[in-house]
Structure 1
Amino acid sequence: MGAAIQLNRLGYQNIAILDREDDLGGTWHVNRYPGLTVDVPSTTYSYRFEPNPYWSRLYAPGAELKTYAEHVADKYDLRRYMRFNTVVDGARWDEEAQVWVVTLSGGHTLRTQFLILATGYLCQPKKPDIDGIDSFAGTVLHAQEWDDSYSLKGKRAAIIGTGSTGVQLIPKLADEVAELTVYQRTPIWVMPKLDFGFGPTAQRLFAKFPATQRVLRVSSDLFMDIMVTLAMWRFRQFRPVNRIAATIGRLHRFLAIRDKGLRRKLTPGYDFGCKRPTLSNVYYRTFNKSHVHLETAGIERIEPDGIVGKDGSKRPIDTLVLATGFDVWESNLPAIEVVGREGRNLGKWWRENKFQAYEGLTVPLFPNLLTQASPYAWVGMSWFDTVEYQMRHMDRLFSELQRTGARTFEVTDEANARFLERMLTLLDDSVFVLGNCANSRSYWFNGTGEAPLFRPTTVRQAVKEQERFPLSDYAIA
């Protein structure tokens, strides 16, 4: 949607937004599980050019993010471009015609001058490969495929997964079920959540005087950017900041759980920042409830009526909840097969030559292609920061095409190599390289131990660089 808004600003109108779902909103349309909220302040998790004065809380519930997406689509008249229930199988560059040929399921094709991949890092849910899982005779609920019609009241339930989704979901499950068993593979850093509501008076103030909300946004933006930069990207120089964050997490855990054995099981064995931390004031306290059990020995197999742990214990259940996240590296980067010039397959090339993308957007031998969820694209913690710096890049790049009357752009090998080298050098100072991340099992790392999702700079740096990257880094013809 951000890319379409930018293209409109540049005068492009012949746009198709293809979406496999039946409505807009991406993750905020697909996810409907109980307890769903944004884990970045709502003031930061929104477009700077389109603030929302009507958030109900600093950390808004998921339904409000969906409503915000609908508002943006309607205000900027984007629905006219959207084609829902449309699955893309792949795309191939036609060198002779100088266009992308996009293949849709069912055999239909589209031909387009420019192709933008906006499929996200977290678009393919990962279902655990556990022996016997298909034999389970009860109800299986996946967090990303939640069944609102199913009642958990009085059920004996188990949930697999204690990542960000699990942290939000587990307290809500505990309020409903008769018994809840939580199967944890890797503990997560859970930080206290400074959350508060915005009543009607505050909302009217934000709407009438937008500057008041901008002050709050500047505060949340700065806090998020400074913490990520110092605790993660400048770990070598500011290791004490990382230690302070970890101390806050430990104190939060200590105050919520007095049982030493239980607290030990919930203590991460890796440095803060190796794995996405999350925020909650109720997650730890949930484990103090008598009907909530934490299992950390691992799962041996699943039987029709329950789960057998590696320690031989069996938990009879009738409902299995999967909060096992997404398959980032096998089926998300890229989410479809993309073949560029000289037959270069994007997914294959990334896996054989390191994941890489110039300014987190473009790749050599892929003319007129922008890939938004790509290596070294994610900056800050709010995805909107990434989208907006990419919109600035598009503005300069497409404006140059229009100025010169050109039809194609392609980043040069030299510019791409230079950018990759700089990202790798910056990562040498990060917690990913210098910290203790071996036991984190973080989706931020790929199978070879690299962490190429993030752009290890401040948000401000990423934005500024879009104003001064050399246009000569592109072959424009």
Structure 2
Amino acid sequence: MTAPGAIEEAGATERATVVIVGTGFSGLGMAIQLRKAGRDDFVILEKADDIGGTWRDNTYPGCACDVQSHMYSFSFEQNPDWSRWFSGQQEIWAYLKRLADKYDLWRFIRFGREMVSARWDADEGLWSVQDTAGRTYRGRFLVSGVGALHIPNIPRLPGIEHFQGTAFHSANWDHDYDLRGKRVAVIGTGASAVQFVPEIAPLVGKLTVFQRTPPWVLPKPDRPVPQWMRTMFRTVPGVQRLVRAGLYWMLEARAVGFNGHPWLLKLASKIGERHIAKAVKDPQLRAKLTPDYVMGCKRVLMSNDYYPALARDNVEVVDSGIAEVRAHSIVDGAGVEHDADAIVYGTGFHVTDAFDHLSIVGEDGRDLAKQWATHGMQTHRGICVEGFPNLFFLLGPNTGLGHNSVVFMIEAQIRYVLDAIRLVESNGALALRVRPEAQEAFQRDIQRRLAKGVWSTGGCTSYYLDAQGVNRTIWPGFTWRYYLQTRSVDPSEFELVQPAAAAVR
């Protein structure tokens, strides 16, 4: 391995057996398991100047996890000292940094190295990865840990080029801009907005929230973790694992409603309606904030202070759309002009089109972005893609969750990738490629099950769906079933490319 910082000049090449992209939960988790396996033949590319992925980038006020921290963490690295049941951004980021320290990962990370392209060399059985500075990384295995929530989705508002105020996305929060006393327009009411709106509402002079579709927001059972419990987690073996198991099965039960039993979600929606009624007394505002679709069709959110914030005298909710942006204002769909000194986008991220900007070329010149744009994001188990040997996605298509912790899915996928690498190396092969019929069978199965789920039948559109209305984001069912499917690689679903065969290709 080349020492950190040694590869700086454009055109330089670094070699490693495994090239990992990203330093969020996926990338770091993959690196940790490689280290545990006694390997140091890998390199990690990170576009930023620090680790953390989502939990590095999102520093907006109130940023926190909406899954209990004792589940939103690695099973093999439990943290007994979470301060709250739902931890904030800084605490989760610090957790990841401690893992990088513990497993000595810093020396494997190449900061400021954003991958722009990757090409499969069939003759050598290697991936050639290039970053924005023209450096090249050559590796037998390429593991993408970039996830889907890293490219901000900023809508093209008519007339936005004329706006003379400050505008930024929640994932790129402008901490130098003082919101106190300002007239602020928030575009979007998704997961981030539900967290930052209550934080900024008491500070600003006027807050105008532009809502396209109201989310279902449930009470958040968040509270500090008492010191006696943290002490017990540290000193009594098995207690924290028992708590984690209880959380897992409690969250897992929610999958029943999402998958073919929407009547259960209709019962849950009554809790959401009472949550609105408790905080919002104005019947017109209550009507604006009450969704007309089945809970779960869009991401279900949690907050105890979002509705009280919207009921403040200095806050207005606009649900008529945006007709035009002017130099110092926004005109809504009803023709009403709203003054604005700043615009904050709470509009989420590119999800089903997150890989469109990358050039990943596999066998026979196949372009992954074009292939997915034409046929949809199709994979085998959300990890492998037919025609792209030795390429693995962590938290790839159709492995996102609406009911449990994605870290559970990431761990299952890391184990699967490690088994795939062992299968290749133990057989003296150059590569492993998924058989087309295996991928097709997997896709038929998950799309059949997704068709019955609330995401397809709940009466809404969401970021779960691609441009053709197909769900390419969510795992349709229980996560324990995914765990069983990915315990090991089924050799019958793959073809091993031997050196001679690779040279012929």
- Indicate yes or no: 2:468 matched with 1:448: yes
- Indicate yes or no: 2:258 matched with 1:232: yes
Alignment of 1:215-364 (within 5 A): 215-227=242-254, 229-233=255-259, 235=260, 238-330=261-353, 332-333=354-355, 336-364=358-386
- Secondary structure of 1:46's counterpart equals coil
- Indicate yes or no: 2:191 matched with 1:164: yes
The residue number in structure 1 matching 2:213 is 186
The residue number in structure 1 matching 2:51 is 24
AA of the residue aligned to 1:282? D
AA of the residue aligned to 2:474? F
2:303, 2:77 → 1: CA distance?
A: 28
Give the alignment's Cα RMSD to 1 decimal.
1.5
Deviates more, 1:57-66 or 1:150-159: 150-159
Alignment of 1:35-74 (within 5 A): 35-74=62-101
CA gap of 1:444–1:407, structure 2 versus 1, over 3 A, is: same
% identical aligned pairs: 35
1:215 deviates by 2.3
What are the Cα deviations for residues 189-221 of structure 1, in whole angstroms up to 9, with x where unaligned? 101111110133322221222522222211221
- Are the equivalent residues in 2 in contact too, given 1:10–1:395 (CA < 8 A)? no
AA of the residue aligned to 1:289? R
AA of the residue aligned to 1:5? I
- Indicate yes or no: 2:491 matched with 1:471: yes
2:101, 2:443 → 1: CA distance?
A: 38
* Residue ranges of structure 2 left out of the alignment (5+ in a row): 1-27, 499-505
- Secondary structure of 2:238's counterpart equals helix
What are the Cα deviations for residues 301-349 of structure 1, in whole angstroms up to 9, with x where unaligned? 111111111211111121221111112233x135521110011111111
1:357 deviates by 0.8
What are the Cα deviations for residues 359-383 of structure 1, in whole angstroms up to 9, with x where unaligned? 1100111011001242222245322
- Secondary structure of 2:360's counterpart equals strand
- Secondary structure of 2:407's counterpart equals helix
AA of the residue aligned to 1:451? N
The residue number in structure 1 matching 2:441 is 418
1:88 deviates by 1.2
1:470, 1:356 → 2: CA distance?
A: 19
1:289 deviates by 1.0
1:386, 1:468 → 2: CA distance?
A: 14
- Are the equivalent residues in 2 in contact too, given 1:10–1:399 (CA < 8 A)? no
1:429 deviates by 2.3
1:25 deviates by 0.4
Deviates more, 1:21-30 or 1:455-464: 455-464
- Are the equivalent residues in 1 in contact too, given 2:384–2:434 (CA < 8 A)? yes
1:116, 1:193 → 2: CA distance?
A: 35
* Residue ranges of structure 1 left out of the alignment (5+ in a row): none
CA gap of 1:241–1:210, structure 2 versus 1, over 3 A, is: farther
- Secondary structure of 1:176's counterpart equals coil
1:393 deviates by 0.9
What are the Cα deviations for residues 32-67 of structure 1, in whole angstroms up to 9, with x where unaligned? 000111011111110011111111100111100100
The residue number in structure 1 matching 2:14 is none
1:178 deviates by 1.5
Runs of 4+ off more than 4 Å: none
CA gap of 1:2–1:25, structure 2 versus 1, over 3 A, is: same
- Secondary structure of 1:159's counterpart equals strand
- Secondary structure of 2:116's counterpart equals strand
- Secondary structure of 1:281's counterpart equals coil
| TM-score (norm: length of structure 2) | 0.90
Alignment of 1:383-462 (within 5 A): 383-437=406-460, 441-462=461-482
- Are the equivalent residues in 1 in contact too, given 2:395–2:406 (CA < 8 A)? no
2:230, 2:47 → 1: CA distance?
A: 35
The residue number in structure 1 matching 2:12 is none
1:149 deviates by 2.5
- Secondary structure of 1:16's counterpart equals strand
- Indicate yes or no: 2:218 matched with 1:195: no
The residue number in structure 2 matching 1:3 is 30
1:469 deviates by 4.9
- Are the equivalent residues in 1 in contact too, given 2:352–2:473 (CA < 8 A)? no
- Are the equivalent residues in 2 in contact too, given 1:36–1:168 (CA < 8 A)? yes
- Are the equivalent residues in 2 in contact too, given 1:100–1:115 (CA < 8 A)? yes
- Are the equivalent residues in 2 in contact too, given 1:230–1:242 (CA < 8 A)? no
The residue number in structure 1 matching 2:104 is 77
1:9 deviates by 3.1
2:457, 2:88 → 1: CA distance?
A: 35
Aligned length: 469
AA of the residue aligned to 1:184? Q
- Are the equivalent residues in 1 in contact too, given 2:248–2:404 (CA < 8 A)? no
- Are the equivalent residues in 1 in contact too, given 2:330–2:337 (CA < 8 A)? yes
CA gap of 1:239–1:310, structure 2 versus 1, over 3 A, is: closer
